[in-house]
Structure 1
Amino acid sequence: MKITVSDRASKWFHEDMGLDDGRGVRFYGKVYGKTPVHDGFSLALTPDDHPERVYAETEKDGITYWIPESDKWFFVGYDLGIDYDPTIDGPKYDWIQNDEL
């Protein structure tokens, strides 16, 4: 599984979430909502500077974006693309199917 973060999304995380270099963002599945690949669950995020038991991670512009092993079930079979959407002034997520089982 890969996590990719666009330049504009990275800028949003720095400016709007107030994250500095060395910080982290954890992504996870939460009950309620909907994604293009899940009904009844949505994607959530929280600042979290201490990755542990990591399933996937990437670093961009000094920030570590990661997913814990405990949320593998939510992401397995997909890569996560994170971009900026000006219509909502926030991140948008692309679920890109991969060959992982």
Structure 2
Amino acid sequence: MKITVTDAASKWFEDEMGLSSGNGVRFYGKVYGKTPVHDGFSLALTRDDHPNKVYSETEKDGIKFFVDQGDEWFFKGYDLTVDFDPELGDNVTYRYEENGELG
């Protein structure tokens, strides 16, 4: 799984969550909601500056964006792109792309 965070999304995290170099964001699956690839589950995030057992991570502007091994089930088979477009509202957006790692 590859995580990509755009420049616009990174700025959103800095501005909206007050994050800076050395901080972290953990993405995970939660019950209820819907994504383009999951019915009944949605993507959530939380500030987490101390990753433990990491399934996938990337760093952008000194901030670590990651998924724990316990949430592999939610992301397996997909790469995640996190973006921000102010015309779509005041939140980040997520795009899932199949990566062939379903096995």
TM-score (norm 2): 0.96
1:18-69 CA-to-partner distances (Å, cap 9, x unmatched) read 0011000000000000000000000000000000110000000010000000
Count of paired positions: 101
Give 1:80's aligned amino acid. L
Query: Which residue number in structure 1 is paired with residue 94 of structure 2?
Result: 93
SS in 1 for 2:25: strand
Question: Counterpart of 1:78?
Answer: 78
Q: Which residue of 2 aligns with 1:35?
A: 35
Q: Which position in structure 1 is the counterpart of 2:55?
A: 55
What are structure 1's unaligned runs of at least 5 residues? none
Paired letter, 2:36: P
Instruction: State the Cα RMSD in Å.
Output: 0.6
Secondary structure in structure 1 of the residue aligned to 2:9: helix
Aligned structure 1 segments of 4 or more residues deviating by more than 2 angstroms: none
Gaps of 5+ in 2: none
Aligned partner of residue 16 in structure 1, secondary structure: helix
Greater share of helix: 2
Task: Tell me which amino acid in the other structure corresponds to 2:97.
Answer: I
Percent identity reads: 66
- Tell me the CA shift for residue 93 of structure 1: 0.1
Q: Could you tell me the TM-score, scaled by structure 1's length?
A: 0.98
